[in-house]
Amino acid sequence: MDDETLNKLIECAINVRQWAYSPYSHYSVGAALLTAGGKIYEGVNIENAVYPLCLCAERVAIFKAVSEGEREFTAIAIATENGGMPCGSCRQVMAEFGLSTRVIIVDTAGHIHADTDVAGLLPNAFSPSDLI
């Protein structure tokens, strides 16, 4: 991925945080997912008074893309105030669509806290091949 695309992805993840619905934690998260075809899907965390019903920004972005027929992802940028890492559920959902997907974690100032891939975030991931 070239620098221009990387910067655009990071900027999208930071900017979309404004739409997060986080009245309980006050921890807004934005995600920008880049497909193999070059389209960007954005997502934000959406909280609920019944905590198990909350959705993370990463999964929202992935589910939006999948619901529109996308299955191949190149990269995802995730922005939080402090550069927090994705939860285990998000890591597993990302793994479903490719262990080589690049994952860039940034804070609101755009500083990169981590630049890895899904395999680096979730070693020995459970995958469809484990269902045999």
Alpha-carbon span 3 to 89, nearest angstrom? 29
Q: Give how far the C-alpha of residue 13 lies from the chain's centroid of Cα atoms, to the nearest Å.
A: 9
The pair of three-digit structure tokens given for residue 107, joined into one six-digit string: 């804070």
Catalytic residue among 4, 11, 42, 58: 58
> Exposed e or buried b for every residue in 85-96, given b needs 16+ CB within 10 A?
ebeeebbbbbbe
In this structure, are residues 75 and 89 in contact, taking their beta carbons and an 8 Å threshold? Answer: no
User: Is 47 one of the annotated active-site residues of the chain?
Assistant: no
- Active-site residue numbers? 58
